[in-house]
Amino acid sequence: MLCNSRLRSVILQAGHFGIVAERRSAVKQYQGIFEWNSKAKGLWNREFTKTRKMMVDTGATASRGPIIDILLEKDDSGGYASGGWKRCDDGKLSCGYSSLRGKRASMEDFYDVKTSIIDGKTVCLFGIFDGHGGSRAAEFLKEHLFENLMKHSEFMTNTQLALSETYQKTDMDFLESEKDTFRDDGSTASTAVLVGNHLYVANVGDSRTVISKAGEAIPLSEDHKPNRSDERKRIESAGGVVMWAGTWRVGGVLAMSRAFGNRMLKQFVVAEPEIQDLEIDENFELLVLASDGLWDVVANEDAMSLARTEEEPEAAARKLTETAFSHGSADNITCIVVKFHHDKVDSADPEPMMED
């Protein structure tokens, strides 16, 4: 009886200490979340209180027109931005974008849209950059990737080569810029570059670009996942491992097989893009680039069907982000919708779309 009483006392004490430890852990976790949210709020405010920017390449030559960043950002709720423009310089396309922080404590998605006239040809560039482990890599890509691409000596003559070399150079530049820090974040990049009527799509990571042709949704990139047979073989040939940890991960850590940044896994997680190219004709309707916050819950065909219900690309982009959020996406959600116009239009005023 005495033994049972002592045993009961020990159990009660152990239970008490366990509850105290659990409460202390919860308090620490709450404090950590509070500190994280405070930092995230600051980052978000800095990113989404920007006004319209017109950026001119100071190194422009006689054959290169001004590089114009045509993003009109609106911060409606502290976690949402959208905008776009009605016609590109030659009147052949219009564009809209939408970006939503969603259920995440911080915003790690970035996006970029630029247009220029080079050697007499209209060039339009669209990019989605989805950061992981922090926002720095994605922000670096927004700031430098297209700038580096248009400075490449063979950008207009061998665009595929320029894309491949620029992706890898920009990755090395980012790693160099972060060499004295303790950060090791990374980012995807899914970009579409339209040179005249020729479209080049380059992809690293699990953001995705899809085009609609005669009503059919056609993926122009394939997600870089570690369980893709070719990607797994490449990683293992380099001495890496792919293992299950809630999902398939490189080294049990990263859920994608290619990315910018990620210094500790760089031997296996490369920034070499897969590139597709095609000529745009009257059968092509829409182009959608988006982070996996959209594609995780909305199928390619459904995304195109939803986008086609809106006349303006910005409205289509907003509908896609809102649909992904309402369907349970737990990630940041960012997308760009490009609409091709094959009718003759008056392109005398290529100003960005302005809305109140």
- Mean predicted confidence (pLDDT) in 193-213: 97
Is residue 256 a contact partner of residue 185, using CB atoms and an 8 Å limit? no
Whether 38 and 67 map to the same domain: the answer is no
More confident residue, 233 or 347: 233
**6 or 324: which carries more pLDDT confidence?**
324
pLDDT (mean) for 157-185: 96
% of the chain exceeding 90 in pLDDT: 67
Query: Which tokens hold the place of 310?
Result: 């809106």
CATH number at residue 158: 3.60.40.10
The token duo for 140 is 């670096």
pTM of the complete model: 0.77
pLDDT tens digits, residue range 216-259?
Answer: 999 999 999 999 999 999 999 999 999 999 999 999 999 999 99
Question: Residue 94 is encoded by which pair of tokens?
Answer: 């219009």
Q: Which pLDDT score is estimated for 65?
A: 63
* Whether residue 171 has pLDDT greater than 80: yes
Predicted local distance difference test score (pLDDT) of residue 256: 97
Same domain, 22 and 41: yes
Strands (E), 224-283: 242-244, 248-250, 260-261, 274-279
* Per-residue confidence (pLDDT) for residue 32, from 0 to 100: 42
Check pLDDT > 80 for residue 58.
Answer: no
Instruction: Say whether pLDDT at 199 is over 80.
Output: yes
Question: Of 30, 48, 66, which marks where a domain is finished?
Answer: 48
Residue 191 lies in a domain: yes
pLDDT value of position 67? 60
Sign of the dihedral defined by the CA atoms of residues 9, 10, 12, 17, in that order:
positive
| pLDDT tens-digit readout, 289-321 | 999 999 999 999 999 999 999 999 999 999 999
Tokens at residue 214, please?
Answer: 């005669």
How many structural domains are present in the chain?
2
Q: Assign 64 a pLDDT band (cuts: 50, 70, 90).
A: low
Shared domain check, 119 and 25: no
Query: Which pLDDT score is estimated for 249?
Result: 98
Q: Is residue 70 a part of any domain in this protein?
A: yes
Range of the domain at 16: 1-48
Judgement on whether residues 307 and 172 belong to the same structural domain of the protein: yes
Verify that 152 and 265 share a domain, yes or no.
yes
In this structure, the answer to whether residues 58 and 40 fall within a common structural domain is: no
Residue 348 is assigned to a structural domain of this protein: no
The answer on 60 and 17 residing in a single domain is: no
The reply to whether 315 falls in a domain is yes
pLDDT for 343 equals 72
**For 251-281, what is each residue's pLDDT tens digit?**
999 999 999 999 999 999 999 999 999 999 9
Buried residues in 299-316 as b, exposed as e (16+ CB within 10 A): ebeebbebbeebebbbbb
Name the β-bridge partners of 333: 100
**Residue 345: pLDDT over 60:** no
* Contacts of 300-307 spanning 24+ positions with Cβ under 8 A: 300/208, 300/210, 300/217, 300/219, 301/217, 303/210, 303/217, 304/210, 304/212, 304/217, 307/212, 307/337
Which residues contact residue 11 at a Cβ distance below 8 angstroms, ignoring those fewer than 6 apart?
none
Of residues 162 and 91, more confidently modeled:
162
Average pLDDT over residues 185-211: 97
Residues 101 and 187 reside in one and the same domain: yes
Report if residue 350 sits inside a domain. no
What span, in angstroms and rounded, lies between the C-alpha atoms of 227 and 244? 9
Tell me: pLDDT of 46 over 70. no
Whether 293 and 146 map to the same domain: the answer is: yes
For residue range 114-128, list pLDDT tens digits in order.
Answer: 999 999 899 999 999
Q: With respect to residue 230, please indicate whether it lies within any of the assigned structural domains.
A: no
**Residues paired with residue 129 on neighbouring β-strands, in sequence order:** 110
Could you tell me if residue 38 is inside a domain? yes
In a domain, 356, yes or no: no
Handedness of CA 292, 293, 294, 295 (dihedral sign): positive
Summarised one tens digit per residue, pLDDT across range 65-112 is: 666 555 545 444 447 888 887 666 567 899 999 999 999 999 999 999
Written in H, E and C, the secondary structure of 332-353 is: CEEEEEEEECCCCCCCCCCCEC
Residues 81 and 109 in one domain: yes
Kindly indicate the confidence band of residue 349, based on its pLDDT and cuts at 50, 70 and 90: very low
Average pLDDT score over residue span 5-29 = 40
Domain shared by 141 and 163, yes or no: yes
Q: Is 42 in the same domain as 66? A: no
Do 96 and 334 meet the contact criterion of CB atoms below 8 Å apart? no
| Lowest mean pLDDT across 157-166, 198-207, 335-344 | 335-344
Could you give the percent of the chain with pLDDT greater than 70?
73
| Predicted local distance difference test score (pLDDT) of residue 83 | 85
Section 45-69 average pLDDT: 40
